[in-house]
């Protein structure tokens, strides 16, 4: 493949990568980015089909441009799992009794310790893969997408959906109807999973367990509402067995029922149902129809199951509050309804993972769920009837900061945060929401309190806030750097003029002027580091000799080496090939590492040994290798893993900004290189920088 074609494809890959986070934000997964990448590759390689198979410890995913039969899929997966993990290129032989296709040439992906992955090319000979530059770039790009997907699919997707659910259900506090909340809920989930339609269904226990289903396509209103018998269709199976169901080809599924599982005006090709349940009690189901771009994946099912658990709690919160208000208002007239539903409500009540309890105006407990009683290490029946602050908190008076009295007086929902400490001294934070329960005369007679552990949520918010502060510091640093840059330019210019005018003059004065120029130059590099940290500076890449940039850096620190009694040895590879690089940035990179080595190897800090810094350059077929070692104080493992963090320094106060290695790491990445660091206390530290050779 020619260089022009590779360059064009690299530009297309860059476009996909820039678009990747937007795809994730709107579609909640990376499937469309993978399929888009495969489509570009197929056109470029002129092969029949390309597949990506990803196996992890929790699920298996298969991405393909053209669909394949279940038998073909099973044959391919089995053949892949039987291959040697370390084998990079190989060929899969088709089973003619199962498949009417040609052979697949395969290339393994390097994803992680517990993950395996392969790219399969239909109708391409295996020997064509090895050594093909485009194939290598394609595999590297797919590895990066899947790794990012693995990292993000758990924490990021769950947090993203949690924020959506919080926004939807926060409206319940301003008395938005349950119907409107369900509509918003299905709309958000449908959009987040990039599906053509969404469905929500509930069991109507008052009509013998009939399933009531509502669906939503593209309009902001329900397009259909149907009822089904328990066990009928895929929906009935999902609810009846309390299990998620994922079907990617409804046309061949024998359980699928168009009148139950389908939606008028929409051809249902694929379907994903998960039950909405609390414990073993199923109250309904969530459904998605026809995922756009790709098939439903196991990761979709797992995420939707987690979402349904949260939805079950939220919906039950709303339902139980409404039911308790109605039951309290009509207690004497409808006593039989309370008796009939008591066992069901109690089971649901006890299965809520958050702490829930009900008190009257005198703070006496009327009901306590299992989660709250377990925190108090008591049985619910042993605390009901007692004062809440005595039974649950071990106090002899109302808890400090309690807002229940305010809730009774103002007849409105109250919210507060309470901090608790366990036996080990670890603190946890809880939100406590108090909801009023009204009587016939609209007086508040009871309160239902919900307590939720938000320790982890607050920790994550603190991390985000710290990141925002760090960004602000970067902007401030950029402003300061610009202000310092102007007078430094004047100082350096005048120092150069003095150097020219004093040629052959007093040697002591000339040395002083040289020191002024070197100190100003070093200050200029500090300013540049600040600017590099605060913004992306333009890099001018040209063929560059690495030895020359190192020589420049060493020349600048000669005075420092003599003053600190540190010896520097430079073993340069005379046949070193050029690299495409920004010489000024590499100069600053070596300067940062060497100055750190000088600080660590200061002979005044070492016991009976002279400070020594060794620099060695070498190369292989791919990379230029720069090794910088010192015999200084070294670092402990906990410090070593943080050295590239912005503003982190191992030096004494007022001796380091914590920016040098952070900026250096960015420079290496901008050059397409890598850095490896080894350090041992009282032995020394070694930096190895790898930069790709210019060809």
Say what the pLDDT of residue 11 is.
64
**Is residue 579 domain-shared with residue 606, that is, in the same domain?**
yes
Residue 326 lies in a domain: no
Residue 492: domain span = 454-524
Alpha-carbon distance 547 to 126, whole Å?
A: 41
Cα 520 from chain centroid? 43
Q: How confident is the model at residue 235 (pLDDT cuts 50, 70, 90)?
A: very high
**Is residue 441 domain-shared with residue 485, that is, in the same domain?**
no
Q: What share of the chain is helix, strand, coil (3-state, %, to 5)?
A: 45, 25, 30
Say what the pLDDT of residue 126 is.
55
**Is residue 468 domain-shared with residue 427, that is, in the same domain?**
no
Say what the pLDDT of residue 180 is.
82
The answer to whether residue 168 scores a pLDDT higher than 70 is no
Residue 166 lies in a domain: no
Say what the pLDDT of residue 604 is.
58
Q: CB 670: neighbour CB atoms within 10 A?
A: 16
Select from 424, 453, 482 the last residue of a domain: 453
**Is residue 548 domain-shared with residue 406, that is, in the same domain?**
no
Going through 230-280 in order, the beta strands assigned E by DSSP cover 245-247, 271-278
Residue 313 lies in a domain: yes
Say what the pLDDT of residue 687 is.
94
**Is residue 370 domain-shared with residue 406, that is, in the same domain?**
yes
**Is residue 420 domain-shared with residue 459, that is, in the same domain?**
no
Alpha-carbon dihedral 188, 190, 193, 199, rounded to 10 degrees: 130
Q: Which long-range contacts (CB under 8 A, 24 or more apart) does 167-175 make?
A: 169/314, 169/317, 169/318, 172/314, 172/317, 172/318, 173/413
Residue 333 lies in a domain: no
The answer to whether residue 173 scores a pLDDT higher than 70 is no
> Which of 671, 609, 675, 681 minimizes the C-alpha distance to 639?
681
Per-residue pLDDT of 504-518, as tens digits, reads 667 777 777 777 877
Q: How confident is the model at residue 359 (pLDDT cuts 50, 70, 90)?
A: very high
Residue 481 lies in a domain: yes
Q: How confident is the model at residue 628 (pLDDT cuts 50, 70, 90)?
A: very high
CATH number, position 578: 3.30.565.10
Residue 165 lies in a domain: no
Say what the pLDDT of residue 5 is.
47
What's the mean per-residue pLDDT of the chain? 78
CATH number, position 18: 3.30.450.270
Q: How confident is the model at residue 520 (pLDDT cuts 50, 70, 90)?
A: confident
Q: Which secondary-structure segment (H or E) carries 546?
A: helix 546-556
The SS3 of residue 609 is coil
What angle separates helix 31-45 from helix 133-170, to the nearest 10 degrees?
160
Least confident of 130-144, 279-293, 436-450: 130-144
Alpha-carbon distance 180 to 168, whole Å?
A: 10
**Is residue 38 domain-shared with residue 62, that is, in the same domain?**
yes
Say what the pLDDT of residue 160 is.
56
**Is residue 249 domain-shared with residue 265, that is, in the same domain?**
yes
Alpha-carbon distance 438 to 445, whole Å?
A: 6
Alpha-carbon distance 59 to 204, whole Å?
A: 34
**Is residue 249 domain-shared with residue 363, that is, in the same domain?**
no
The SS3 of residue 689 is strand
Least confident of 364-368, 373-377, 383-387: 373-377
Say what the pLDDT of residue 96 is.
39
Select from 418, 437, 453 the last residue of a domain: 453
- 224 bridge partner residues: 215
**Is residue 377 domain-shared with residue 270, that is, in the same domain?**
no
Least confident of 148-157, 226-235, 549-558, 667-676: 148-157
Alpha-carbon distance 107 to 128, whole Å?
A: 11
Alpha-carbon distance 374 to 332, whole Å?
A: 32
Least confident of 12-16, 487-491, 611-615: 12-16
Say what the pLDDT of residue 615 is.
95
What's the length of the chain? 695
Alpha-carbon distance 217 to 195, whole Å?
A: 9
Residue 338 lies in a domain: no
pLDDT higher at 376 or 78: 376
> Which of 228, 231, 224 minimizes the C-alpha distance to 207?
228
Alpha-carbon distance 548 to 581, whole Å?
A: 12
Residue 507: partners with Cβ closer than 8 Å, 6 or more residues away: none
pTM given for the model: 0.34
pLDDT higher at 142 or 257: 257
Cα 294 from chain centroid? 22
Residue 131: partners with Cβ closer than 8 Å, 6 or more residues away: none
The answer to whether residue 503 scores a pLDDT higher than 90 is no
Alpha-carbon dihedral 91, 104, 125, 120, rounded to 10 degrees: -90
Residue 531 lies in a domain: no
Phi, psi of 117 (to 5 degrees): -155, 155
Select from 418, 453, 488 the last residue of a domain: 453
Q: CB 406: neighbour CB atoms within 10 A?
A: 12
Tally of domains in the chain: 5
**Is residue 448 domain-shared with residue 458, that is, in the same domain?**
no
Dihedral sign from CA coordinates of 461, 464, 469, 470? positive
Say what the pLDDT of residue 545 is.
92
pLDDT higher at 439 or 299: 439
Per-residue pLDDT of 4-45, as tens digits, reads 444 455 666 666 555 555 554 455 456 777 777 788 778 777
**Is residue 191 domain-shared with residue 210, that is, in the same domain?**
yes
Least confident of 237-246, 341-350, 529-538: 529-538
Q: How far is CA 105 from CA 51, 66, 111, in A?
A: 11, 17, 19
Say what the pLDDT of residue 1 is.
46
pLDDT higher at 293 or 557: 557
> Which of 428, 398, 657, 632 minimizes the C-alpha distance to 526?
657
Per-residue pLDDT of 570-603, as tens digits, reads 999 999 999 999 888 888 889 889 988 888 887 5
The answer to whether residue 114 scores a pLDDT higher than 70 is no
The answer to whether residue 286 scores a pLDDT higher than 90 is yes
In eight-state DSSP terms, residue 445 is E
């Amino acid at each position: 493949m020619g260089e022009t074609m590779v360059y064009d494809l690299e530009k297309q890959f860059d476009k996909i990568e820039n678009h990747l986070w937007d795809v994730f934000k709107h579609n909640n997964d990376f499937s469309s980015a993978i399929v888009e990448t495969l489509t570009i590759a197929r056109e470029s390689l002129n092969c029949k089909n390309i597949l990506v198979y990803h196996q992890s410890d929790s699920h298996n995913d298969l991405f393909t441009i053209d669909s394949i039969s279940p038998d073909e899929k099973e044959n391919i997966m089995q053949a892949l799992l039987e291959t040697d993990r370390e084998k990079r290129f190989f060929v899969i032989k088709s089973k003619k009794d199962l498949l009417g296709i040609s052979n697949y040439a395969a290339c393994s992906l390097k994803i992680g310790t517990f993950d395996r992955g392969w790219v399969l090319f239909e109708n391409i000979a295996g020997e064509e893969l090895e050594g093909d530059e485009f194939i290598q770039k394609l595999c590297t790009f797919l590895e990066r997408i899947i790794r990012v997907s693995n990292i993000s699919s758990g924490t990021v997707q769950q947090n993203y959906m949690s924020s959506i659910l919080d926004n939807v259900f926060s409206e319940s506090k301003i008395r938005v109807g349950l119907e409107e909340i369900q509509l918003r809920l299905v709309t958000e989930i449908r959009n987040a999973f990039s599906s053509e339609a969404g469905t929500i269904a509930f069991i109507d226990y008052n009509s013998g367990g009939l399933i009531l289903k509502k669906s939503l396509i593209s309009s902001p209103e329900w397009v259909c509402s149907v009822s089904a018998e328990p066990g009928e269709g895929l929906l009935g199976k999902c609810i009846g067995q309390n299990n998620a169901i994922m079907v990617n080809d409804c046309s061949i599924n024998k359980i699928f029922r168009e009148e139950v599982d389908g939606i008028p005006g929409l051809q249902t090709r694929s379907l994903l149902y998960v039950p909405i349940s609390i414990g073993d009690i199923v109250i309904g189901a969530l459904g998605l129809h026809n995922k756009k771009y790709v098939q439903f994946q196991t990761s979709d099912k797992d995420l939707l199951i987690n979402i349904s658990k949260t939805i079950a709690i939220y919906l039950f919160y709303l339902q139980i509050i409404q039911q308790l208000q109605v039951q309290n208002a009509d207690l004497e007239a409808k006593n039989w309804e309370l008796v009939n539903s008591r066992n069901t409500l109690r089971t649901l009540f006890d299965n809520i993972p958050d702490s829930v309890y009900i008190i009257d105006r005198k703070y006496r407990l009327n009901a306590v769920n299992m989660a709250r009683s377990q925190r108090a290490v008591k049985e619910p029946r042993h605390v009901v009837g007692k004062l809440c602050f005595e039974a649950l908190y071990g106090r002899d008076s109302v808890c400090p900061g309690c807002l229940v009295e305010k809730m009774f007086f103002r007849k409105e929902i109250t919210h507060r945060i309470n901090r608790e400490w366990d036996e080990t001294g670890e603190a946890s934070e809880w939100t406590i929401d108090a909801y009023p329960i009204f009587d016939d005369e609209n007086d508040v007679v009871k309160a239902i309190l919900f307590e939720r552990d938000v320790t982890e949520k607050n920790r994550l918010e603190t991390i985000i806030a710290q990141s925002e502060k760090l960004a602000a510091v970067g902007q401030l640093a950029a402003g300061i750097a610009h202000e310092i840059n102007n007078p430094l330019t004047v100082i350096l210019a005048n120092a150069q003029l003095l150097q020219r005018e004093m040629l052959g003059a007093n040697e002591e004065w000339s040395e002083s002027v040289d020191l002024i120029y070197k100190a100003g130059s070093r200050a200029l590099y500090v300013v540049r580091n600040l600017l590099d940290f605060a913004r992306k500076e333009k890099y001018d890449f040209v063929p560059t000799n690495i030895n020359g940039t190192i020589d420049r850096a060493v020349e600048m620190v000669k005075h420092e080496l003599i003053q600190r009694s540190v010896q520097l040895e430079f073993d340069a590879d005379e046949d070193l090939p050029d690299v495409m690089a920004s010489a000024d940035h590499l100069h600053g990179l070596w300067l940062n590492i060497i100055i750190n080595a000088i600080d660590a190897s200061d002979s005044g800090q070492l016991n009976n040994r002279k400070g020594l810094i060794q620099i060695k350059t070498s190369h292989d077929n791919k990379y230029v290798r720069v090794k910088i070692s010192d015999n200084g104080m070294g670092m402990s493992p906990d410090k070593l893993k943080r050295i590239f963090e912005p503003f982190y320094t191992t030096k004494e106060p007022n001796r380091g900004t914590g920016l040098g290695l952070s900026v250096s790491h960015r420079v290496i990445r901008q050059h397409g290189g890598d850095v490896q660091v080894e350090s041992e206390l009282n032995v020394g530290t070694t930096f190895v920088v790898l930069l790709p050779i210019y060809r």
